[in-house]
Copies of this chain bind each other. A is one copy, B any other.
């Protein structure tokens, strides 16, 4: 039995904007309600996913900010923060909340434009360990560079493999009008010219920082033939510090969440037709595929080289462009992944519609594997 149904989804374009945080949230909420054929009065509870509202622009208590968009309703609502996994965690919470509330609205939202670079780097670093890692210079690019270095040592992964991921995801984003880099063609020459960020990760191995919002309406029961069943939803955590991990080529939180989500959904990794995974850095897509058991450890790069994960391959990964090229509006990202998978499963993904889209998966990571939320969804007509 499905854990719940996605009745509707909405999303703003990810990327720099002058719109305010509440305006972005409102735009995604209205789109999701319209998509579901509902009005705000039909909603029974809401969840706001956001990461940096406080440090970036002095906005906390965002459930009350969003409540201000729906005056007089006095709905139950809260904000969740789990770093870059905030959105996926909010979707998991929404499914839990269906035990009491009939229709739950989730909105993920983030604004990062206009924050000076050093301040933004420090703020994003708050998702990492303060006591051991950050103080030793392990900011996020450095942490993922460490993961990449270890993966290269263990499995022979090359910078060329990582470049192929970047090229694929940028190519996919060219078909996604809501992608951060929709407008941008990225060539090998661009990649070659990219500055070194943290060896071996260069500029085009890193996702951008995006503004944006995404929303979804969930319910225990389907509403119509476009309602998408959530077959499995799992969430897991791990120690925030890399110094407390036994391996750096894999995230235990992701392996645990994936295994629990598959069990709940009654499917295996082989049943997954396509996935949206958390490629905040290109190496993260490699780790994601292996943690999700879409292939054996060390095998992801072969699939990438053979085109299996391309849009027209057997197992398309990040058809939306992923975080890399679709954009990473942190608190919105996990909900944005659900937006993409729902569109694909409904056959409504337009120019980037995948040929085979019966079981889709989202994989949303916080920090360097401190949190992972995995969702598995099925086709609306098969629920």
Contact = CB atoms under 8 A, between A and B. Distances in A.
B64 A238 contact: yes
A244 interface: yes
A241 interface: yes
Interface stretch (A209-217, A348-356, A366-374): A366-374
Interface residues of A, number: 62
Interface stretch (A52-60, A144-152, A271-279, A316-324): A52-60
A308 interface: no
A74 to B, nearest CB: 4
B126 A71 contact: no
Number of copies: 2
A61 B241 contact: no
| Main SS at interface, chain A | mixed
Contacts of A63: 82, 237, 366, 370-371
Given A61-B371, A83-B60, A77 B237 contact: yes
Contacts of A367: 61, 64
B96 A64 contact: no
Contacts of A59: 126, 130
A105 to B, nearest CB: 12
A82 B63 CA distance: 7
A123 B55 CA distance: 9
A344 interface: no
A376 to B, nearest CB: 15
A22 to B, nearest CB: 8
Residue of A55, A61, A256 most packed against chain B (CB within 10 A): A61
A97 B68 CA distance: 27
Contacts of A127: 60-61, 64
